[in-house]
Structure 1
Amino acid sequence: MDQPRSSQRYQATPPDGEAALLKQILKLVRRHPRFGYRRIGRMMQATGWKVNLKRIYRLWRREGLKVPRKQRKKRSLGTGANACHRRRPERKNHVWCWDFIFDRTETGTTLKWLTILDEYTRECLALQVDRHITSEHVIDVLAELFKTHGVPEYIRSDNGSEFVSQAIRVWLKRIGVETLYIEPASPWENGYAESFHSRVRDEFMNCEIFENLKSARKQTAAWKEQYNTVRPHSSLGYRTPRDFSEQCSSSRRTTSAFQRNTAETPILS
């Protein structure tokens, strides 16, 4: 045809279903703006999409999607005997951790969240929000968790007034739960709680506006359920905490031990 070969161009044909695939990716990105392509890909695979991560990454790069990297300060590991890198969780209900995180409503009212996490399964056991949380409130939350999930062997925390109060220490000792207090001013020793708080702050609090306490409780309950049952966790092989928890072995302690220890003395309220 008297045309040089170098002038010919092949018109690529997009694979079937790529438009629908890209639409679903963008939908998940809008819903979870802090998730990377690996977590988005795992979520799609979990809902039935037969797609590998290389294809997700190609579309991710083509659309210019990117999760900004956060700059973190490097800290040396603490020397405390109760630090998370020294007393590691070995099974479900072996070590729980708890802490507080704060935010504000739209009108500036302070909100306080109590977070309780199973360090081994990464499951969020409690995410309670209120304006004020006392040691008595903490005991009530723990009592309900012990009935539902069993009694842990250890609970790791900082030296906050709610956690070191006489009432909590006496109550936990009576039940047989050992407290692991980290060194003062060493939050990295409670690394599981701090890591979870970074996810709460980044994926929940920074993305929501809390009109009042009632709406904050509703939004918190929805996000906690999404975190446990929908969000793939990289440390669990991109399984959800609830799925991993149901498949792993638990501590030998059960709710019967809690019921025996609380039969003689009523729970504080």
Structure 2
Amino acid sequence: MVVKLRQVEVLVAQRKTVAEGARAIEVTEATSYRWRSEYGGLKLDQARRLKRLEQENGRLRKVVADLTLENLVLREAAFGRLLSAARRRAAVEHVTAALGVSERFACRVLGQHRSTQRQAPVSPDDEAALTAEIIGLARQYGRYGYRRITALLQAEGWHCNHKRVERIWRREGLKVPARQPKRGRLWLNDGSCVRLHPERPNHVWAYDFVEDRTCNGRKIRMLNVVDEFTRECLTIRLARKLNSLEVIDVLANLFIARGTPVHIRSDNGPEFVAKAVPGWVHGVGAKTAFIEPGSPWKNGYVGSFNGNLRDELLDGEVFNTLVEARVLIEQWRVHYNTARPHSSLGYKPPAPR
């Protein structure tokens, strides 16, 4: 254009009209005026720089427009990260329908591969049945997480891992129990869970009391005895009152049925430190292991069992009578020993059938 404009200038200098010069360069007269208004007076190198600046300006405008559109797509898609392919697939479909952008652009912005976007998800044939079974188990065992539910499903013969169960669990909006914070290990005395560690069945037993009430407000007490190595609940003695003689009776029945343990751990409650109980325990060949006063975490095995008992049964049941409480608690104890998956045992029950 600059060269042709120079040609027109030469022709005009030769006393020709602008129209004749425009015909000489094979453009209309209006085009020649427009070219002269845009590029008149420029040299070739200046015209080249101007052309490059226009191209760079156009590229920058396109980049800004793309960034603006990308931000609009991200705001339209979701507030936060899209971690799963299914959520990104749904976000891409929503953005293309709402903003009218192409699928290629939406996939690039949201980090979804186009082959993943176009591949239709295929649900297994047993998806509906497995979902119904998970919901049924979650309704029956309301305090179990998806890992314990997975162990129950595998025990029933389902071929599924915890990842698939977790996906269904979250899709159905089921509650996932919050993780317990990790606690540092302390330097404890010889009677603690760390120093006196169980090495085999019948090595260390632990026992403790748990209290609850019937619907009429009367108190009931439970004496729980746990084998620390196998995590099995050996017995739960339930009564309105339990004294040191009741403790001796419970221990005598267990010692006859299962043998005498090496150690039996307890706190410093009056029923355990009474002269009759330690003397009787030492008389039959066992050793007592009392924890330090005011340190219930040092009797951690039975404390964990007591927490599970309260969380999974006592907090969700109303006991009308003492007999009803005995029946329901014994049923739960049998389930705990024979069917309930225990996380410390690789999600196996303490004493399977």
Do the aligned residues in 2 keep the contact of 1:77 with 1:189 (CA within 8 Å)? no
Q: Secondary structure at the match of 1:242?
A: coil
Q: Secondary structure at the match of 1:55?
A: helix
Counterpart of 2:79? none
Tell me the C-alpha RMSD between the 2 structures. 2.1
Mapped partners of 2:164, 2:179: distance in 1: 26
Residues 70-120 of structure 1, C-alpha deviations (whole Å, 9 max, x = no match):
766957636322011111000000000000011111111111110000000
Counterpart of 1:199? 308
Mapped partners of 1:150, 1:216: distance in 2: 28
Q: Aligned-pair distance for 1:68?
A: 3.5
Q: Which amino acid aligns with 2:230?
A: T
Residues 141-190 of structure 1, C-alpha deviations (whole Å, 9 max, x = no match):
11111121111000000011111111111111111100000100010111
Range moving further from structure 2, 7-16 or 168-177: 7-16
Do the aligned residues in 2 keep the contact of 1:115 with 1:126 (CA within 8 Å)? yes
Mapped partners of 2:312, 2:181: distance in 1: 17
Counterpart of 2:226? 117
Mapped partners of 1:220, 1:105: distance in 2: 13
CA spacing shift, 1:144–1:18, aligned 2, 3 Å:
same
Range moving further from structure 2, 68-77 or 89-98: 68-77
CA spacing shift, 1:75–1:9, aligned 2, 3 Å:
closer
Range moving further from structure 2, 175-184 or 139-148: 139-148
Mapped partners of 2:177, 2:138: distance in 1: 13
Counterpart of 1:134? 243
Q: Aligned-pair distance for 1:13?
A: 4.2
Counterpart of 1:63? 172
Q: Which has the higher contact order (CA 8 A, sep 6+)?
A: 1
Mapped partners of 2:141, 2:232: distance in 1: 19
Mapped partners of 2:188, 2:121: distance in 1: 59
Q: Secondary structure at the match of 1:179?
A: strand
Within the candidate set 127, 140, 155, 1:31 is matched to 140
More helix by proportion, 1 or 2?
A: 2
Do the aligned residues in 1 keep the contact of 2:188 with 2:194 (CA within 8 Å)? no
Q: Secondary structure at the match of 1:156?
A: strand
Counterpart of 2:339? 230
Mapped partners of 1:73, 1:197: distance in 2: 19
Mapped partners of 2:219, 2:126: distance in 1: 48
Unpaired runs of at least 5, structure 1: 247-269
The TM-score normalised by the length of structure 1 is 0.84
Q: Which amino acid aligns with 1:28?
A: L
Q: Secondary structure at the match of 2:207?
A: strand
The reply to whether residue 147 of structure 1 matches residue 238 of structure 2 is: no
Within the candidate set 171, 180, 184, 2:293 is matched to 184
Do the aligned residues in 2 keep the contact of 1:155 with 1:178 (CA within 8 Å)? yes
Q: Which amino acid aligns with 2:321?
A: N
Residues 14-70 of structure 1, C-alpha deviations (whole Å, 9 max, x = no match):
320111101100000001111111110011101111112211111011111123427
Mapped partners of 2:318, 2:163: distance in 1: 35
Counterpart of 1:252? none
Counterpart of 1:216? 325
The reply to whether residue 54 of structure 1 matches residue 163 of structure 2 is: yes
Unpaired runs of at least 5, structure 2: 1-101, 105-116
Mapped partners of 2:297, 2:267: distance in 1: 10
- Look at both structures and tell me which one has the larger radius of gyration over its CA atoms: 2
Q: Aligned-pair distance for 1:209?
A: 0.9
CA spacing shift, 1:167–1:100, aligned 2, 3 Å:
same
CA spacing shift, 1:72–1:160, aligned 2, 3 Å:
farther
Q: Aligned-pair distance for 1:128?
A: 1.3
Do the aligned residues in 2 keep the contact of 1:42 with 1:232 (CA within 8 Å)? yes
CA spacing shift, 1:103–1:73, aligned 2, 3 Å:
farther
The reply to whether residue 44 of structure 1 matches residue 153 of structure 2 is: yes
The TM-score normalised by the length of structure 2 is 0.64
Aligned residues: 240
Of all paired residues, the percent bearing the same amino acid is 49
